[in-house]
Every structure is written in structure tokens, then in C-alpha cells.
Amino acid sequence: MSNSKRETRTALLFVSPWIIGFLVFLAYPLSASIYYSFCNYSVLKAPVWVGMANYRNLVQDDVFRTTLVNTLIYALMSLPVGMAVAIGLAMMLNAKIKGQTIYRTIFYVPSLVPGVPLAVLWLWVFNGKQGIINAVLQPLLDHVASALSIVGFHGHLNAPQWLSDAAWAKPALVIMSAWGAGNAMLIYLAGLQDVPQPLYEAADLDGAGWWSKTWNVTLPMLSPVILFNGIMGIIGALQVFTIPYIMFPGGSPARSTYFYAMYLYDNAFVYLKMGYACAMGWIMFAITVILTVAAHKLSDRYVHYGGS
Amino acid sequence: MDIRKLTMPAMALVLFYCVYQSEKLTRVENPPGPIHITYWEKWTEFEGDAIRAVVDEYNRKQNKVHVDLLTVSDIEKKTLLAVSGGNPPDVAGLYGPNVAQYADDHAVMELDAYCKQYNITRDNYIPIYFDIGYYNGHVYSLPTTPASTALHYNKQLFREAGLDPEKPPVTIEEMDQLAEKVVTRKNGHIDKSGFMPAEPGWWNWGWGFVFGGRLWDPATGKITANCPENIRAYNWVRSYTDRYGASELSTFRSGFGNFSSPQNAFLSGKVAMEMQGVWMYNFIDQYAPGMEKPVLNWAAVPFPHPADRPDLAETTFADEDILVIPRGSRHPKEAFEFIAYVQSQEGMELLCMGQRKHSPLAKVSPDFIKKHPNPYITVFSELPKNKNVISPPKIGIWPEYQAEMNAAFEQVALGKKTAKEALDYVQNRVSLMNEDYQAQLKARKEAGQ
């Protein structure tokens, strides 16, 4: 046996746990789920081929549409908020000040808290009566109301019922999602440190201020990282599950927080419509691919790679 | 020969040897003594202790079967996956409303032959508690602990509102009036309330029953979500929204804590009247001892009925936890022997006393009632014996149907839809769903599955 062949064989042997794991736990279930999406399948019985029926039914399913719209709205709201918070934090933490590493740790730590305890914690934060947010907000609103009474406004300004008002439940989740910005923040921070110093020096010579430097140097140089985090953000937002599942059972109030992944889960494991759930999974995959490709296309115009 | 050539085979050998040894350690081959059966149950804390006592007693009494009790969360899903994986427990403690869905999917075994062998018949039980496990002409499950519901009310709040605490409402209309009198406000917002249809929220789908409605017709299999009684019930729900305002009610409700906490709306004296089950006493005992001592400040009475429907007096929701033998159980015979013990008066009273419920059996020892800590236990044990006892519909799509009814309730309670609009929608959607489901069942039957 030649040396290179032996090396190949040894290499394959060493990666074999991963290959086997990939085939058994990823490739097989993935391809099986394509097949199941064309079947009536309840997990317990052999799947029965039904052709496009699941996809046809999905098109006509109001709840499917509701969950899809809810999810897209959530993604549309949480993505910019998450990005702004992460970039803002990264830029502040990039400042050369005393205790920099401590601040970095402090702002990163929240993203280590697992979803379930986080959801339980925020249930209290958002509590309409005893919640800390409204405890701060309500007196503020009262002051605003009394100030407005000068211009003829007479009435109460009530702090939002975050958890029980259909209009405020999604914004509440968006606020929460910013809590987990730590990971993206870390990546932005790495990106910021890659921005070549000479560019700033050149900008200084041209008399650029902070805003002008941020807009013309930092953000363009950061754009590949923004693109990456944007795509990861889209994927994450479309899959939102754990926190609304705990905080808003059944997508209450009035299904305003019933998200795509929650409906998929209910179909698969509560209603035992695994075929239907698989079809939903593949539609979500298609949507994710489309959005990712769109993000890439868009990026051709706005993203600047350092090397090119 | 190059010794290095042997490295790989040697490593493989070592690996195989390790696997062999570890398997040898963990595998018990034909253990001497009793046959071990696995029993998955969902209960924890004092409820878990109660079933543990029953299992211990059973294991002590005989030496043929040994029950290994395992506490499992999300039990209905995990049992299902274990069945489909071909490695289920021998006995599983599921929920009553699971029966139809699991029987349709052949996830649980028919118990008719065993019941006959052990002489377990409907006559042994308060009928509804046997019927919950009876589906399409077969017994699929037998009860563990039952539940029934009644109006729970807070006598202290009655007194504060100048009402007679010994005169609970008999009709829905009376209840609405009393409820209005209990309401107090602070800074213009509701601070205490008499009654709220959305509290505790477990029967949002079921208010129609209280007005004589049904969710499906067992004879024809048709969905009846928008029958006039159900619409009347949701109109009644809506009347609370119209009286107090949707946002005012949600502001008030948002101050409540978890059910299982002292901030529970009923336990913290925020809501004076609630429909609750036999379990409520346990929470009063744990979180609101002040309602019990020094004077009994709460009571449980039959839930009110509409004034024009005296025939609906004493309507109660019956539900129960159940034991099933999942398909694929390795020792179904031994599994049933254990189930039969739980169905005996001795086993059942040990369990139900431990969980402080009533017994689903027709025969109850006088001591059981006498020693029972719940001061109103006879209310709960007598209510399910009357004709107005109801239980969730036995149809395979019930989980989806229930989700739709709950969504409709919320839309009505939030004032987004009228009762008729919301229920017409459910009727259409669930009817289609049901037709689809029945067609699938038929297709499968024809395919011989």
C-alpha cells in the first residue's frame, strides 16, 4: 500500500465517528423527512404516501399562515434591534478604557443563560402589575400624562400589558431577544479589531469626526461581519421556539405569539401529524434559503471585503 | 513483520473488549426472582410519594412481579416515542384525554381480556371513570386518580362584600350578580374580582357544557362547536369583557402569579369564585393556610347552572389520570397484574388518600371519607355520579380541537370576535380536520394497519 493511500485510510478512520454520526443522525433523518413530508405519518404507523396533500393542506391552513406571518414579523423586528444592540455594545466595549475585559464579560454573560430559566425570569420582568419594567415605566408615563395635561390632554397613560395584550406580546419578545446579543457582539468585537488603524489615521488627517469615521470607515469595514450575523440572525429568528413556548402557552394572547416552530412542534408531537410537520420543516428551509440568497445578493452592493 | 501494522487491529480489539465488559456489567440476564416491569409515571412531590407507596406495598405483598417505578416528565410524548422506538415501559401513567388518540394509533393495548380475567367491570366504578378509558368498544385504560370540579369560593371576600358566606350562588345569573358585588377598585383599576371566565383557564374550551352544549355528537361523529348552547356560553364569556373592558381584565389578570404559588388568583384572594377541581384543597393547604385555619374560609359547592336550565344542575367536569399498557410491552400479563392491584379498593384508597383525591371506585371504605383531609371530599365524590357529568370528547383530533376552542375563547374574551364568529370558524375548521382524520383512519384500516 502506498503511503498516501494509507494516510487517507487512517484519516478516514479517524473521521469515521463523525461520518457515521453525520449519516445516521443527520443525513438519514433529513432525507427521510423529505419522504415523510409526502406521507400521512403518525410516527407509530408505517407512513402512507399521500403525494402533495400535506403541502396542499398547508396552503389552505389559516393557522399555518398566522404562524408564518407572526414569525416573519418577529424576524423583521428582532433582527434590526438585535443588530443595533450588538454593534452598539461592541463599539462601546472596543473603547480603550479601564476594566475593558470585565465589561466584556458582563455583557456577554446574559447570552449564556439557557432559554427556559430566561423565559421564567422575563415572565416576572414583564408582569403587568409587579414587573420591573412597568414599575419604572408607569411613574414615567404618569409624569408625561400630567405634563400633557397642560396642553389639554386629560387621561391615563397606561404601561403596556406585555404578556396579555396581543399588540405588545411580540415587542416584548423582541426586547428579550436583545438580551442574547452577546454572541453576535463578540463577533462584531473581533471584526472591529480587524479594522486597519491607518484608515482611521487617514480619516483623522482629513478631519473626520466620530460619526463620519463610524459611517465611512467602521461600518463598511465591518460589513462582512454584519452580513454573517445578519444571516445567522435571520435563521435564528425564523426558528424562534423555546422562549415563546414557555412564556406564551398555545401562542396566547389570541395566537399573536404562535410561531412557526411552535406550530410545527405541536403538529409533530401533540397532534401526531409528523408528515405535515415535515412538510412545514421543508417550507421553512426553502424560506430560509431564499432569504439567505437575497441577503447575499443585497450584500454585493454593500459589503466590502478587506482583501479585495 | 512491522509491529505498527498491528496498531489498528489492537485498538479495535481493546475497543470491543471495553464494549463487551460494559455491556456485561449493565445487562442483567434472566435475573433470579421476580419479573421486573417498568412503570413510568408523571407525578412528583407528594403525588409521587403516593404512587411510590402503592408500588412499594405491591412489591412487598407478592414476589412474582417487581415494579420499577420511574418518574418521567412530558410522559405522553415520551411514551409515544418509546412505543414507536419499540422499547416502551410495561405500564405508563397517561392522561384521560389521551385515550382516543393513542388507541387510534394502536399505541396502547386493549385490556378487555385482562379485565374479564380479573373481573374488572364498569360496575366496580363510578361509571364516568370507567367510560373515559372505554373507546370504540374496548377498554384501553383504567383510572388512577380521578378529578371532578365544583365552584370554589372565598368566604372572606363574600363577607367583605357584605354577602352571606353561607349562600353561594345556585344559578349563573346569581353568580354574575354576586361577582359584581365583590369587585373592588384601587386607583380606578380592578383590585378584587368576583368571578372571571378566564380563571384558571383550564376549561376555556368547555364553558358550553355548563350551558348544556356539546362539542361533538358521539352518535354521528359530527362536530358541534357552534351549537346554540356553546354560542350562549361564549356570549356569557363576552359579557364579562363588555362589563369590565378587555384591557382592564387583562391588566388585572397580569398581576397573578403561577398557578402553583401563593400568588395564585384564588389563593391570594384576588378572585372570589372559581371553578376548580378536587386538587384545589392541596394548594390551599400548601399556599394559603389562612383560608383553612383558624376558620374554614372557603367552600366547594356544585357549579351554578343557567336559571332557565334547572336540568343542568350539578354539572361537573370529570377527568382522570390513567394506566395503560403500551403496545410492545414485554410483560403485559404482569403489567396488568399490577394495574389490577391499583384497581383494588386497598390500592386505590392508598393512592387517592396520598394524593388527597376521591376514589373512582363505586365502593369506598367509610374510613376513607372519615380520614380524608379535604373537608368537602363528598362534594367531589358525589358530583360525578349524577347525569350532568361531562368529560372531554373522545375523538382522535381532540388536542387540535381543544387548541382551536381555546383560541376562539381568547378572541371572544379579548373582544376581537363575537361568540358566533369565533365558533363558526372553529366548526368549519375542525369539521374539515375531522373528515380528513376519519378518512385517514379508514384508509389505514383498509390497508390493513
The residue ranges of every structural domain in chain A are 1-36, 52-126+162-302
Residue in B with minimal Cα distance to A156: B188
- What is the structure's pLDDT at B137? 94
Question: Quick check: B255 and A130 CB within 8 A?
Answer: yes
Chain B residues 373-402 with a CB less than 8 Å from chain A: 397, 399-400
Residue in B with minimal Cα distance to A10: B8
Least confident of A233-242, B25-34, B91-100: B25-34
Burial profile B172-182: b = 16 or more Cβ within 10 angstroms, e = fewer? beebbebbeeb
3-state SS track over B303-347: CCECCCCHHHCCCEEEEEEEEECECCCCCHHHHHHHHHHHHCHHH
Question: Quick check: B254 and A129 CB within 8 A?
Answer: yes
**β partners of residue B108:** B326
Residue A163: is its pLDDT beyond 90? no
Q: What number is the ipTM of this complex?
A: 0.83
From A57, A127, A272, residue closest to B105, measured CB to CB: A272
Contacts of B444 in chain A (CB under 8 A): 45, 48
B429/A contact by beta carbon, under 8 A? yes
pLDDT digits (tens, 9 = 90+) for B219-240: 888 999 999 999 999 999 999 9
A110 min Cα distance to partner chain B (Å): 24
CATH of domain A52-126+162-302: 1.10.3720.10
3-state SS track over A92-111: HHCCCCCCHHHHHHHHHHHH
**β partners of residue B414:** none
* Cα distance between residue B360 and residue B318, in whole Å: 10
End-to-end CA distance of chain A: 44
Can you tell me the mean pLDDT for A264-272?
A: 92
A300/B contact by beta carbon, under 8 A? no
From B251, B406, B411, residue closest to A250, measured CB to CB: B406
What are the cell numbers at A139?
A: 411613574
Residue in B with minimal Cα distance to A255: B407
A13 min Cα distance to partner chain B (Å): 10
How far from B213 is each of B151, B171, B230, B266, B309, CA to CA, in Å?
19, 17, 5, 27, 12
Question: Quick check: A158 and B247 CB within 8 A?
Answer: yes
Can you tell me the mean pLDDT for A287-305?
A: 85
- What is the structure's pLDDT at B427? 97
Residue A156: is its pLDDT beyond 50? yes
With cut-offs at 50, 70 and 90, classify the pLDDT of residue B30: low
A253 min Cα distance to partner chain B (Å): 7
B332 min Cα distance to partner chain A (Å): 19
* Cα distance between residue B32 and residue B51, in whole Å: 26
Can you tell me the mean pLDDT for A162-182?
A: 88
A252 min Cα distance to partner chain B (Å): 8
**β partners of residue A48:** A40
B10/A contact by beta carbon, under 8 A? no
Question: Quick check: B407 and A269 CB within 8 A?
Answer: no
Residue B163: is its pLDDT beyond 90? yes
Question: Omega before A114 cis (within 30°)?
Answer: no
* Cα distance between residue B410 and residue B407, in whole Å: 5
CATH class of B148-317+392-440: alpha beta
Question: Quick check: A266 and B444 CB within 8 A?
Answer: no
Per the listing, cell 454520526 goes with A21
Name the average pLDDT for chain B. 92
- What is the structure's pLDDT at B28? 62
* Cα distance between residue B401 and residue B392, in whole Å: 11
* Cα distance between residue A70 and residue A255, in whole Å: 9
* Cα distance between residue A45 and residue A63, in whole Å: 26
Pair B231, B419: CB distance under 8 Å: yes
User: Distance between alpha carbon B371 and the CA centroid of its chain, in Å?
Assistant: 25
Pair B68, B369: CB distance under 8 Å: no
Contacts of B416 in chain A (CB under 8 A): 166, 254
* Cα distance between residue B302 and residue B376, in whole Å: 11
Name the average pLDDT for chain A. 89
Question: Quick check: A44 and B80 CB within 8 A?
Answer: yes
CATH class of B35-147+318-388: alpha beta
- What is the structure's pLDDT at B276? 95
Chain B residues 213-252 with a CB less than 8 Å from chain A: 247, 250-251
Contacts of B407 in chain A (CB under 8 A): 250-251, 254-255
Residues of chain B with CATH 3.40.190.10: 35-147+318-388, 148-317+392-440
A43/B contact by beta carbon, under 8 A? yes
* Strand bridging mode B271-277 / B222-223: unpaired
Pair B27, B324: CB distance under 8 Å: no
Residue B315: is its pLDDT beyond 70? yes
State residue B223 phi and psi, 5-degree precision: -80, 135
From A45, A158, A253, residue closest to B410, measured CB to CB: A253
User: Distance between alpha carbon A133 and the CA centroid of its chain, in Å?
Assistant: 23
With cut-offs at 50, 70 and 90, classify the pLDDT of residue A210: confident
Closest CA to B335 of B57, B26, B40: B40
Interface test with A, best of B253, B254, B432 (most A CBs within 10 A): B254
Contacts of A272 in chain B (CB under 8 A): 80, 101, 105
pLDDT digits (tens, 9 = 90+) for A105-123: 998 998 888 888 999 889 8
Q: Give the CA count within 13 Å in the CB-facing half-sphere of B341.
A: 22
Pair B163, B178: CB distance under 8 Å: yes
Question: Quick check: B101 and A272 CB within 8 A?
Answer: yes
3-class SS of residue A4? helix
pLDDT digits (tens, 9 = 90+) for B375-412: 999 999 999 999 999 999 999 999 999 999 999 999 99
How far from B188 is each of A161, A238, B152, B320, CA to CA, in Å?
16, 41, 27, 42
Pair A267, A277: CB distance under 8 Å: yes
Contacts of A255 in chain B (CB under 8 A): 407, 410
A220/B contact by beta carbon, under 8 A? no
What are the cell numbers at B187?
A: 386607583
Residue A307: is its pLDDT beyond 60? no
pLDDT digits (tens, 9 = 90+) for A235-257: 999 999 999 999 998 888 889 99
A167/B contact by beta carbon, under 8 A? no
- Percent of chain B at pLDDT exceeding 90: 79
* Cα distance between residue B90 and residue B71, in whole Å: 14
Residue A267: is its pLDDT beyond 90? yes
pLDDT digits (tens, 9 = 90+) for A4-50: 889 999 999 999 999 999 999 999 999 999 999 999 888 888 888 98
What are the cell numbers at A266?
A: 405541536
Can you tell me the mean pLDDT for B358-378?
A: 94
A42 min Cα distance to partner chain B (Å): 8
- What is the structure's pLDDT at A308? 47
A40/B contact by beta carbon, under 8 A? yes
Can you tell me the mean pLDDT for A208-217?
A: 88
Question: Quick check: B447 and A163 CB within 8 A?
Answer: no
- Chain A with chain B: Cβ pairs closer than 8 A: 80
- What is the structure's pLDDT at B424? 97
